[in-house]
Structure 1
Amino acid sequence: MAYFRYKGRNKTGKVVQGRIKGDSQKETVQQLREQGIAVTSIEELTSILYKEIKLFEGRVKLQDFVIYIRQFSTLLKAGISVVDATNILSQQTNSKVLNAALVDVEEGLRAGNPFSDVAEKHRKVFPSLFINMIRAGEAGGNMDEILDRLAVYYEKQHNTRAKVKSAMAYPIVVGGIAAVVVIFLLAAVVPTFASMFQSFGSELPLITRLVVNAGNYFKSLWWVFILLVVAAYFGFTTLQRNPKTKYYIDYALIKIPIFGKLLQKAALARMTRTMASLFATSVPILQSVAIVERIVGNEVVVKVLKESRNALETGQSMVGPMEKHWIFPPLVTQMLAVGEKTGSLDVMLDKVADFYETEVDHATDQIKSLIEPLMIVFLSVVVGGIVAAIAIPMFSIFEQIQ
């Protein structure tokens, strides 16, 4: 939204002027006409005083979006109009961002605009996939069926993402707990025993000296560790925003043991499920591939998809570039090749997506069962080492006392 300064004449011919808020200059002129004002001049106010400041403007959570689409589909199937359904859902959603977007969409619908055109103004709320499939539904008159397909799609995406996050979060949480325990022992417990050992004047074992020195370093340089963690976080997020550096990060993540295969399968599941949904709703293939490039979330896959799109533009098969790259297993390329030859790409992509979503489920269960004993061993070694550093000199002191 922007502010405009206008000048014109009202119905009685009187000169009027003022300021008004609108989406664009064209729509603002139309809005003033509806108020009976013939605009003679209009200009956008670009001063910082007229800029909307939105702090912490966020996107809609996937879970809220899934609920919205499912409810939207149900309301349309029940015979409720798109305008009334949008009004109901704007009042019902728990997401403030989605609520604001739906209120604006309802206004656009009541003004006679198609849902897809109004929704396209809110790119942060409604993804390209959603907008294009809704546009296809509007053209084909089967918007309720398209919404039902979208609901299934986003539910599967939500479940897959939750599985991957769960698998990745487990070692992070356990590692964080281990770090807290180690810091507490080094900062609070070890120094107390260290001063007691020094009072006896006996030489400390090597493991005890290492642990005591580590505790002293942490007590004096704790702020350095915090700065390093903060710098690492902001450095990583900054690199993630740059497509070139993100490519190498995604490449490295896929190559790491255990988790790499999971991330690869999740990316392939997302890509094939999205393509299948777009093809099934008759979205043109070049446009479909371009949409998938924006939402697949892995730059290694994106690079190959761009090559596939270039191949399609020159009349070649989209499978060719995929067959030359290691990230696409033979199962994907062979199924896609069959789909191209038989004209059933959406069906083949659906089958591949089902396969890899199942693989993600199995992989997350395997990772959890593998990581759990490894983390237990790791915690036992770390905490056990600190306890041993304290216990060994205590035994020596007891022997000297006896």
Structure 2
Amino acid sequence: MPTYVYTALNEHGVNMQGAIDADSPETARALLLSRGYVPMKVKAQGAGLELGALGDILNPVKPKELILFTKQFRTLFQAGIPITQLLQVLQNQTESKKLKRVAADMAQAIVGGSTLYDAFKAHPRVFSELYCSMMRAGEASGALGDVMERLVYLLEHEHKIRSDIASAMRYPKMVVGALVIAFFVLLNMVIPKFVMIFSAAKLDLPLPTKIAIAMHHGINNYWPLLLAGLAALTVAYKWWLRTEPGRYWRDSLLLRVPIIGPVLQKSVMARFAAIFSIMQSSGVTVLDALDVLTNTIGNAAIAREFRRIQDKLKEGRGIADPLKSARFFTPLVINMVAIGEESGSLDAMLRDVARHYDEEVEYAVAGMAEAIGPILIVVLAAVVGFFALAIFMPMWDLTKMVGKH
């Protein structure tokens, strides 16, 4: 069911904002009227691109800012401060301009009668579906403080995994970037000067030199077409990745790539176990937890497996048996879930799995960084060797020709 973001007046004439699920804008307005609100503006969530939304896209809230905001929210809530006053304090304390605006909007929505969950859900570019679902579970169970404690752990856990992977990939990206720049400099500035000398000597050029010359002429003569083709391919590829088949193809392929695949699989297993255990201990049903995981796991291939598991759960099966037939799930996860389900301690078993895979990800990331180094050296040697052959083989022939004369 679509979600609509609205601006409305309550019975006291106070302007409020929030989100509501409805079949159509007309149904959303009717629901608001039935609650005693006068709808001023109703639009599909994500529809339109207002200035504030554009700012959120170009300059999103940083993970560290969101973690600090959540920690402050938890601390103030546990201190017994009312929600509206709590949000006003956060508005004054946070350094992020976006979070200041969000806190002000949320306070206004809650004063107008909106639930805490609706106030969070009205800002999907700041608070993920997982974040909002956790808030809803805490609000419904009356254990919001405990749920926010788990949410802080989850946000820090995910930020750490992503930071570790980004740190491991920083050096390879720098080397590859420098390599690409060096390749084009040699091809367009060094090769042409030697080509003039070889042409004047009327040498029979070797294959590496002919390939280098062909690439140089192709770039010089057809660079507008090459750029247009590259831009078209990039746009088409990005458009395709927005489709479900495109995301599934990319994510399933990445999971099979040597070195990178095991790291991604272990990080997804850690994310799955951490999120699932926290949602289980927060009172969220297995079906609802899988529904949230499907949209937040960050991997389309595994998200498709979650949908299959959901279908089997609706038939009355437990979660352990469907997991056995699911792809990409490791034997450890399957066995621990089966033991947890049988013993009634699924959330505890999943916490153990999350801790185990946190350590596995650290080792895997370190191993990936060590393995990529030799691969980069081989690629660098291949590029240097190609240009060395392209330049020095004809130079050697030219030297022999000069020696004969």
Task: Please give the alpha-carbon distance, in whole angstroms, between the structure 2 residues aligned to 1:80 and 1:132.
Answer: 22
Match of 1:53 among 50, 65, 81: 50
Partner of 1:99: 100
Tell me how far 1:312 sits from its aligned partner. 2.3
Q: Measured at CA, do residues 232 and 260 of structure 1 come closer, stay the same or move farther in structure 2, by a change above 3 Å?
A: farther
Map 1:239-318 → 2, pairs under 5 A: 239-318=240-319
Q: Measured at CA, do residues 157 and 194 of structure 1 come closer, stay the same or move farther in structure 2, by a change above 3 Å?
A: same
Map 1:3-402 → 2, pairs under 5 A: 26=32, 53-54=50-51, 56=54, 57-58=56-57, 59-168=60-169, 170-402=171-403
Preserved contact between residue 164 and residue 263 of structure 1 (Cα < 8 Å): no
Q: Measured at CA, do residues 354 and 233 of structure 1 come closer, stay the same or move farther in structure 2, by a change above 3 Å?
A: farther
1:308 aligned counterpart, secondary structure: helix
Map Cα deviations across residues 304-352 of structure 1 (whole Å, 9 max, x no partner): 2122222222321112121013311211111001111111111111111
Task: Please give the alpha-carbon distance, in whole angstroms, between the structure 2 residues aligned to 1:104 and 1:366.
Answer: 45
1:257 aligned counterpart, secondary structure: coil
Q: Measured at CA, do residues 272 and 103 of structure 1 come closer, stay the same or move farther in structure 2, by a change above 3 Å?
A: same
Task: Please give the alpha-carbon distance, in whole angstroms, between the structure 1 residues aligned to 2:222 and 2:37.
Answer: 63
Tell me how far 1:128 sits from its aligned partner. 2.7
Q: Which one has the largest radius of gyration? A: 1
Map Cα deviations across residues 165-219 of structure 1 (whole Å, 9 max, x no partner): 3445544442232111111100111101111222223333332222222222222
Q: Measured at CA, do residues 21 and 315 of structure 1 come closer, stay the same or move farther in structure 2, by a change above 3 Å?
A: closer
Task: Please give the alpha-carbon distance, in whole angstroms, between the structure 1 residues aligned to 2:17 and 2:335.
Answer: 51
Q: Measured at CA, do residues 27 and 89 of structure 1 come closer, stay the same or move farther in structure 2, by a change above 3 Å?
A: farther
Q: What is the number of equivalent residue pairs in this alignment? A: 375
Identity %: 28
Task: Please give the alpha-carbon distance, in whole angstroms, between the structure 1 residues aligned to 2:6 and 2:115.
Answer: 22
Q: Measured at CA, do residues 245 and 388 of structure 1 come closer, stay the same or move farther in structure 2, by a change above 3 Å?
A: closer
Map Cα deviations across residues 58-86 of structure 1 (whole Å, 9 max, x no partner): 25333322221122223334454432332
Tell me how far 1:266 sits from its aligned partner. 1.7
Partner of 2:25: none
Partner of 1:39: none
Task: Please give the alpha-carbon distance, in whole angstroms, between the structure 1 residues aligned to 2:220 and 2:160.
Answer: 43
Greater shift, 350-359 or 385-394, is seen at 385-394
Task: Please give the alpha-carbon distance, in whole angstroms, between the structure 2 residues aligned to 1:322 and 1:67.
Answer: 36
2:274 aligned counterpart, secondary structure: helix
Task: Please give the alpha-carbon distance, in whole angstroms, between the structure 2 residues aligned to 1:232 and 1:67.
Answer: 40
Q: Measured at CA, do residues 264 and 197 of structure 1 come closer, stay the same or move farther in structure 2, by a change above 3 Å?
A: same
1:119 aligned counterpart, secondary structure: helix
Task: Please give the alpha-carbon distance, in whole angstroms, between the structure 2 residues aligned to 1:44 and 1:308.
Answer: 39
- Amino acid corresponding to residue 304 of structure 1 in structure 2: E
Task: Please give the alpha-carbon distance, in whole angstroms, between the structure 2 residues aligned to 1:52 and 1:247.
Answer: 28
Which ranges of structure 1 fall in alignment gaps of 5 or more residues? 6-19, 33-41
Task: Please give the alpha-carbon distance, in whole angstroms, between the structure 2 residues aligned to 1:342 and 1:2.
Answer: 45
Preserved contact between residue 293 and residue 306 of structure 1 (Cα < 8 Å): yes
2:219 aligned counterpart, secondary structure: helix
1:316 aligned counterpart, secondary structure: coil
Preserved contact between residue 163 and residue 364 of structure 1 (Cα < 8 Å): yes
How well do the aligned residues superpose, as a CA RMSD in angstroms?
3.0
Greater shift, 225-234 or 207-216, is seen at 225-234
1:191 aligned counterpart, secondary structure: helix
Task: Please give the alpha-carbon distance, in whole angstroms, between the structure 2 residues aligned to 1:196 and 1:68.
Answer: 66
Map Cα deviations across residues 79-135 of structure 1 (whole Å, 9 max, x no partner): 544323322323443444433322111112334543223222223322232223223
2:266 aligned counterpart, secondary structure: helix
Task: Please give the alpha-carbon distance, in whole angstroms, between the structure 1 residues aligned to 2:89 and 2:227.
Answer: 47
1:297 aligned counterpart, secondary structure: coil
Preserved contact between residue 6 and residue 40 of structure 2 (Cα < 8 Å): no
Tell me how far 1:21 sits from its aligned partner. 9.4
Task: Please give the alpha-carbon distance, in whole angstroms, between the structure 1 residues aligned to 2:331 and 2:255.
Answer: 17
Preserved contact between residue 280 and residue 286 of structure 2 (Cα < 8 Å): yes
Preserved contact between residue 277 and residue 351 of structure 2 (Cα < 8 Å): yes
Preserved contact between residue 259 and residue 371 of structure 2 (Cα < 8 Å): no
Greater shift, 219-228 or 295-304, is seen at 219-228
Tell me how far 1:22 sits from its aligned partner. 6.8
- Amino acid corresponding to residue 280 of structure 1 in structure 2: S
Preserved contact between residue 208 and residue 389 of structure 1 (Cα < 8 Å): yes
Q: Measured at CA, do residues 4 and 66 of structure 1 come closer, stay the same or move farther in structure 2, by a change above 3 Å?
A: closer
Task: Please give the alpha-carbon distance, in whole angstroms, between the structure 2 residues aligned to 1:137 and 1:237.
Answer: 37
- Amino acid corresponding to residue 266 of structure 1 in structure 2: S
When normalised by structure 1's length, the TM-score is 0.83
Preserved contact between residue 164 and residue 266 of structure 1 (Cα < 8 Å): no
Greater shift, 185-194 or 226-235, is seen at 226-235
Task: Please give the alpha-carbon distance, in whole angstroms, between the structure 2 residues aligned to 1:273 and 1:85.
Answer: 28
Which ranges of structure 2 fall in alignment gaps of 5 or more residues? 10-14, 19-27
Q: Measured at CA, do residues 336 and 22 of structure 1 come closer, stay the same or move farther in structure 2, by a change above 3 Å?
A: closer
Q: Measured at CA, do residues 256 and 29 of structure 1 come closer, stay the same or move farther in structure 2, by a change above 3 Å?
A: closer
When normalised by structure 2's length, the TM-score is 0.82
Task: Please give the alpha-carbon distance, in whole angstroms, between the structure 1 residues aligned to 2:271 and 2:34.
Answer: 40
Task: Please give the alpha-carbon distance, in whole angstroms, between the structure 1 residues aligned to 2:234 and 2:167.
Answer: 20
